[in-house]
Amino acid sequence: MSLITQIDYGTPASRRSEKLCLTIDGATIEVPEGTSILRAAAIAGVHVPKLCATDSLNAFGSCRLCLVEIEGRPGTPASCTTPVAAGMIVHTQTERLKKLRRGVMELYISDHPLDCLTCAANGDCELQDMAGAVGLRDVRYGYAGANHLADQKDQTNPYFAYDPAKCIVCSRCVRACDEVQGTLALTVAARGFDSRVRTSANEAFFESECVSCGACVQACPTASLIEKSIIDIGQPEHSAVTTCGYCGVGCSFKAEMRGEELVRMMPFKDGQANHGHSCVKGRFAWGYAQHKDRILKPMIREKITDDWREVSWAEAFSHAASALHRIQTKYGRGAIGGITSSRCTNEETFLVQKLVRAAFGNNNVDTCARVCHAPTGYGLKTTFGTSAGTQDFDSVAAADVIVVIGANPTDGHPVFASQMKRRLREGAKLIVIDPRRIDLVRTPHIEAAHHLALLPGTNVALLTAMAHVIVTEGLVNERFVRGRCDLDTYREWRDFVADPARGPEAVEGYTNVPAAEVRAAARLYAKGPNSAVYYGLGVTEHSQGTTAVMAIANLAMATGNIGRPGVGVNPLRGQNNVQGSCDMGSFPHELSGYRHISEDATRALFEAAWNVKLDSEPGLRIPNMLDAACDGRFKGIYIQGEDIAQSDPNTHHVVDGLKAMECVIVHDLFLNETAQYAHVFLPGSTFLEKDGTFTNAERRIQRVRKVMAPRAGLADWEVTLGLAEALGHPMPYEHPSRIMDEIARLTPTFAGVSYEVLDRLGSVQWPCNEKTPAGTPVMHEAGFVRGKGNFVLTEYVPTDERTGPRFPLLLTTGRILSQYNVGAQTRRTQNSAWHHEDRLEIHPHDAEQRGVRDGDWVKLESRAGATALRALVTDRVAPGVVYTTFHHPNTQANVVTSEYSDWATNCPEYKVTAVQVSPSNGPTEWQQQWVKQSENLRHVAHAAK
Ligand code: SF4
Ligand code: SF4
Ligand code: SF4
Ligand code: FES
């Protein structure tokens, strides 16, 4: 492996299609109109010196290093800000230009420390490179300019440092923060030699609005803004392109290494999901891979009260296999099951479901998508025919109206949020439907046209009211509906939503959203002309999650917002491979590609390939497995990369289920909360330690590439193979690419996918087969996958979880930028500097009524249980609504969430829990017990070493 370098073309590519010809240093080249001379030259292989230009940012024209001469034009214009013209003849290397460039460099160097040999950027510094490129040999002004050596470095950010002495005031960082990230946290203060880059309110980076995305660091041509890991370790020597292991955006990174040590995660410019951008998690929060808490040896124990005992892989496999066999002999074939993980690769997920179906001999397999996006799968399949979002991320650039429902993109999907914010700054209109005032509602240069701050649990009523406006005000796209949709279901739906009882005025009383606002938002959405919906778990994690997804699909069909760029229905997937884990057949009723297990022809295909007989009956979902365990009918489980004791609702019930089992096999990086109830622990591997693929929220399949050996000796896919072999069902794959080949053979939507195709194209969006060999960015273009679009009636049924005198407030939950889900990874990084505890957001009015001040401990109690955490008094939440994150196990937010779930998919109703909040002295008894128990577990594990 060598270090992957990418050409910097100096300015962004022109989007225009007309081409023109010009001559640069004697070579004729054809480029799109609107291209800068600097870029055209780079395309022609002529690298004009530059400092303030880089191809991720608009041209700025400040450094004057990229000067060129153009025949017939006076002077020496900057090539970065001068567009090409037909027939132009450009010279980049005349004596006059050389002299001018040297003069410019002399000025820069006279004001720059000359400590290149000890500088962390030595070897990766554009100033150094340019000094060489212009042939600088002397500096006539000496080296004692106003070089700012006394300026204080800013080391406050955990991951990068700012040294003003090395700043050449090129403004690349400021522009990166503005144009790429959209946070506008930086500025250049003062003028001339006194110019300094500063955070906008002149605070330290850590105290500022900076969200640590790293765009400024990446843009900086010197060591002024630089990763601390580069300062500590040195420059990388080899790299591989891989995919972020955190969220469903699926950013591409170059994992840059020195030997076996990861030095830096550098966003990959050709990444088709992120186009070279990143967020703090993927860019910087990779330290967990080396964390001391990693378990690197398999462990077993007879009872959960026993000490863990380290064993060989062979012993762990045979112990697990004999326990599972014993259980099946005693309790029946259906007494065991497995859970796949949306954090694992497609190949690993496919293997786990295959293990359950082929080796366990039942369909008791489920995935953590059960608790997040299962309603998306069901809802979009029913209406459109495919269990996936309709667009690619780039589609947002063509949207005129963007609707964000139950999602918080700047925290949950930050890189896509930056792309969305760019479009909003260009003038697209924004509608936010969320109980909480998320950042997008008002952020630099962006203000939502409408924020419908509905009461948690009323999505369906609100979305149906929007449909009422569209139907009754003549805003339906009749041509689209007539041509593309099932007219019988449309007419039925039209009459249903037209009922005044479903109009904005009728539902205002319980949604808490003024009717006029709903009407205005519905009109804006319907008139687009290109309107796109982006939604998250604030839609799905409800007792009517599936209904809400279908209500969104109805709106898109009625207004014709499907089947072209700029429109669509787009679920923002939480974990990196939620889409993939669902695609791979992780649900108990479906084989890969969403084909029902009861379909004889599909089953026959798999039976022939796997040489087994498959059960035609759907198996148990996660909540059913836990219920069956509590009833004594379910006794063994293999859980790969999932922490159900922390992530699933009603923790007490989950714990009871786990305790009732005879063999719990946890396969994970850390001894997570679930592992407290495990009998076998199989060490997992990080995304850096294995090959495979992830599929992001836009159905994009991307490679995960191994850059270091699995620390525990086996990659996750090899662990599942070991278990399968011990169970007497060997699965002989020599590499994950072979697993993908099998997926492609057995799954029509993946038929054209292979590692060779992914290496060649970078990525593909399924469906990828003989009809669409390069994948499908936008779905349902000519017609819906199911044929005609299917309208579904969306009767609002209030949740059974009601407020009342005992529990008068509604709790809803969400995520924060710096932490990721249950926090297993991010809590083991310096990201905890930003968020080291879960806090309860409460409106000042509700806080005052309860005598609660900001920072006080409060007890949060529901019908299911109680926990305690500190209060954050804020008007981001409306009166009557409280909000918390669930990143820290000691908070135990899921102790209070109810057992109610989506009617179609059992996705838990995390977003609506009736609660009471009262002052408290500190953690509850349950929390204290939990901490003690966890400490015991860790103590025992270490004692066993
Ligand atoms: S890290 Fe990102 S948010 Fe922070 S200043 Fe740099 S570009 Fe702006
Ligand atoms: S910190 Fe770096 S990117 Fe920013 S102005 Fe200074 S040299 Fe340029
Ligand atoms: S946006 Fe998501 S995929 Fe991209 S770097 Fe951040 S966590 Fe990783
Ligand atoms: S690169 Fe063109 S003026 Fe700086």
Q: Is the pLDDT of residue 732 over 80?
A: yes
Question: What are the tens digits of pLDDT across the range 144-164?
Answer: 666 677 788 999 999 999 999
User: At 788, which amino acid appears?
Assistant: K
Q: Is 358 in the pocket of ligand 2 (CB under 6 A)?
A: no
Percent of the chain with pLDDT over 90: 78
**Which of the listed residues 159, 174, 186, 281 should we mutate to test ligand 1's pocket, taking the one with most ligand atoms within 8 A of CB?**
186
Interval 285-294 mean pLDDT: 91
pLDDT surpassing 60 at residue 940: no
486 pLDDT exceeds 70?
yes
The ligand 2 atom nearest the CA atom of 219: 3
Name the closest-CA residue to atom 4, ligand 2.
173
Residue 148 has what pLDDT? 72
Mean pLDDT of the chain, nearest integer: 92
Distance between first and last Cα of the chain: 35
Q: Are 912 and 539 in contact (CB under 8 A)?
A: no
Spatial neighbors of 342 by CB under 8 A, at least 6 apart, are: 349, 367, 368, 369, 372, 574, 575, 576, 577, 578, 580, 581
Q: State yes or no: pLDDT of 476 exceeds 70.
A: yes
pLDDT value at position 727?
96
Which residues, in sequence order, are CB contacts of 734 under 8 Å at separation 6+?
none
pLDDT-derived band at 945, boundaries 50, 70, 90: very low
Interval 483-498 mean pLDDT: 97
Considering the chain, what percentage of its residues have pLDDT values greater than 70?
98
Mean pLDDT of 507-535: 97
Q: What pLDDT score does 908 carry?
A: 75
* Model confidence at 134: pLDDT above 90: no
What pLDDT is recorded for position 451? 97
Pairwise CA distance, residues 628 & 625, whole Å: 5
- pLDDT recorded at residue 438: 94
Q: Which pLDDT value is given to residue 891?
A: 78
- Whose Cα sits closest to atom 4 in ligand 3? 251
Instruction: Give the model's confidence band at 937: pLDDT under 50 very low, under 70 low, under 90 confident, else very high.
Output: low
Peptide bond into 529 cis (omega under 30): yes
What is the CA(14)–ligand 4 centre distance, in A?
Answer: 18
416 token code pair? 């896509």
Looking at the predicted structure, is the pLDDT value of residue 934 above 80?
no
What is the mean predicted confidence (pLDDT) over 753-782?
95
What per-residue confidence (pLDDT) applies to 939? 58
Asked which of 88-97, 479-488, 599-608, 830-839 is least confident by mean pLDDT, the reply is 830-839
What tens digit of pLDDT does each residue of 716-728 get? 999 999 999 999 9
Q: How confident is the model at residue 410 (pLDDT cuts 50, 70, 90)?
A: very high
**Residues 205-229, mean pLDDT to the nearest whole number:** 96
Instruction: State if residue 170 touches ligand 2 by the CB under 6 angstroms criterion.
Output: yes
Of 36, 52, 175, best ligand 4 pocket probe by most atoms within 8 Å of the beta carbon? 52
- The per-residue pLDDT for 144 is 65
Predicted local confidence at residue 562, as pLDDT: 96
Please give the structure tokens belonging to residue 142.
Answer: 């000496």
The secondary structure of the chain in percent helix, strand, coil, rounded to multiples of 5, reads: 35, 20, 45
- Looking at ligand 3, which atom is closest to the CA of residue 250? 3
Q: What is the mean pLDDT of the segment spanning 261-268? A: 96
- In a 13 Å sphere around the CA of 689, the CA atoms on its Cβ side amount to 21
Higher-scoring residue by pLDDT: 863, 562 = 562
Query: Residue 312 above 50 pLDDT?
Result: yes
Single out the residue of 143, 146, 108 nearest to residue 128, CA to CA. 108
Angle between helices 126-133 and 95-110 (to 10 degrees): 140
Residue 944 has pLDDT above 60, yes or no: no
pLDDT band for position 377 (cuts 50, 70, 90): confident
pLDDT of 615 over the 90 cut: yes
pLDDT digits (tens, 9 = 90+) for 780-832: 999 998 999 999 999 998 888 888 899 999 998 888 888 887 777 888 888 88
Asked if residue 80 has its Cβ within 6 Å of ligand 3, the reply is: no
| 881 Cα–ligand 3 center, Å | 29
Q: For ligand 1, which residues put their CB under 6 angstroms from it?
A: 176-177, 181, 183, 185-186, 210-216
Q: Choose among 58, 60, 70: nearest CA to 25.
A: 70
The answer to whether the CB of 650 falls within 8 A of the CB of 864 is yes
Over residues 869-873, mean pLDDT:
95
Rounded mean pLDDT, 932-941 = 66
Q: What's the mean pLDDT in 861-874?
A: 92
* Nearest bound ligand to the CA of residue 165: 2
Q: What's the gap between Cα 757 and its chain centre?
A: 24
